Amino acid sequence: MLPSELLAASSRSERRGFPPGVLAINLMQNLETIHDYLRAHSDEIGKRILASYPALHRPDESPSPLLSQMLRRPYPAQVLAVMGISKRWKSARNANVIAECGAGKTLIALGSMLAHSAGRPFSALVMCPPHLVEKWARETFLTLPQVRVFLIDDMRNGGNPREPHGVNEVRLRRGEIVREGLHTSLTELRRLVPVPPFSVLAERKPSSHISGSTVSRRAVQDATADR
């Protein structure tokens, strides 16, 4: 029984003359921890969760064929998340990926951008803490084909000559991210033609803690839309 059903059963026992709560206590006496409770009622809890929050993409549905282009193939659970996010973007402005460290949130976000693009060229903007900027860039190179990655450096202090500034293209060299290629500004970057198949901009944004990834549909769009 779930808590609401326990209360109802206990109420019925009171009407029959039993002391209040006796039935509920007897039913719960072998459930000492929350883990015991979940094991005992996992089937019903699972059914109620699926009824309240139906999946946007079911395991028996086919994923986007674009995911076969990814250089790193996502696991089945990651594919479900990717397709759920890409479908969510069709009716909403954002989607949240809430998962523990190591679950592949970055890969899921990149795969969602690819699936949502429907095969068109696109640009995406990633805002993350400074210590994750190069990790994002590295994983982007290792995940998406024919991608160009730019870092937005030092934009708020006028450009410290001792630090990288402006918009800098980066490349992956022997596992390291190096600033190599185009050096420009956001204004000039918008005027570039032709547009590369995929572009990802990573901005250094201070943050103390991130427990999940929030990806905006507006940040994943056809790069030629404003031309």
For the cut 90, the answer to whether the pLDDT of residue 57 exceeds it is: yes
Given a cut of 50, whether residue 206 has pLDDT beyond it is no
**Which range, of 78-92, 118-132, 145-159, 200-214, averages the lowest pLDDT?**
200-214
- To the question of domain 65-222 being in CATH 3.30.70, the answer is no
Residue 214 CB contacts under 8 Å (≥ 6 apart), including other chains: 94, 95, 96, 97
pTM of the predicted structure, to 2 decimals:
0.68
Which part of the chain is CATH 3.40.50? 65-222
Give strand ranges (E) for 9-160.
Answer: 94-98, 122-128, 147-153
Can you tell me whether residue 156 is helix, strand or coil? coil
